[in-house]
Amino acid sequence: METISENRCFDGTQGVYRHASEATGTDMTFGLFLPAEAEDGPVPVLWYLSGLTCTHANAMEKAGAQQWAAEQGIALVFPDTSPRGAGVPDDPAYDLGQGAGFYLNAVQDPWAEHFQMWSYITEELPQALFHRFALDEERQAITGHSMGGHGALTIAMHHPDRFASVSAFAPICNPMESDWGQKQFTAYLGSNTALWEAHDASVLMRERGFAGPILIDTGTADQFGDLLRTEVLAEAMAARRQHATLRLQPGYDHSYWFVSSFMEDHVTFHAEALYGVRT
């Protein structure tokens, strides 16, 4: 693993690292914030999955999460959103290809060779992190924004024993019925919609739910509101009697100004679950 940079940040360290990934067949870059407590032993981990067009750097630099994570003694992981490189297939559209991995394992050409983001996020990167850094594998939570919110919710519902809590900022809630989903699922997974269901948060909520608490924030002025289909997930949560909080924030859009405005709430929410007490 190559260290690209390490900077002092709120008495901890904000690092950027690169490693060779077997899952994607490429080099992958990620950010990792370690609070000061990591100098004394393993700390809880909050995963942050980013949205369309983002790299590891967007949330790392814009979300303002490090201040709140430092107060709670929690590490932050900022993975990339897709494989990248000259040999990796891409598409001229912003919502397919590089920067748009959708946190799934592609089975269709030309994407299948490299676009194995589900395996990378759920298996390979955790193994690399827990081997190298002072992180507590038994205390993990996950969050994300937009496409990353979709990824956080679907990954958490598939791994309820791994994550104490899950939250999302303006997640894509029902991709099977959205242009942010149908296009990508067809390209990556093909026309068999049975494969799509495993990556739709609303379907998963109806089928299995989540054992821990859920927090979702979406802005009422979100310019992509029709694509998110928040109301479908809300209906699924209500039907299942899921322990969850879904907040529609007046006047907020889809930007990182929105994310940073409620980041403290989300970090505190996860700290409560990770430590078992309100902090």
195-216 pLDDT tens trace: 999 999 999 999 999 999 999 9
Nearest to 102 by CA among 145, 143, 52, 142: 52
What CATH number does the domain containing 188 carry?
Answer: 3.40.50.1820
User: Across residues 14-36, what is the average pLDDT?
Assistant: 98
pLDDT per position as a tens digit, 213-268: 999 999 999 999 999 999 999 999 999 999 999 999 999 999 999 999 999 999 99
The pLDDT of residue 137 is 96
Q: Which pLDDT value is given to residue 276?
A: 84
* d(C-alpha 5, C-alpha 54), whole Å: 19
Residue pLDDT, tens place only, 70-81: 999 999 999 999
Look at the block and give the residue holding tokens 């004394």: 40
What pLDDT shows up at residue 278? 40
Give the count of domains, the chain: 1
**What is the extent of the structural domain holding 238?**
2-275
Residue 119 zone, left/alpha/beta (φ > 0; ψ -120 to 50; rest)? alpha
Whether residue 74 contacts residue 273, with contact meaning beta carbons closer than 8 Å, is answered with: no
Question: Which sequence positions are flagged as catalytic?
Answer: 146, 222, 254
pLDDT, mean of residues 55-67: 97
Residue 105 is classified by DSSP as B
What is the tens place of the pLDDT at every residue in 125-137? 999 999 999 999 9
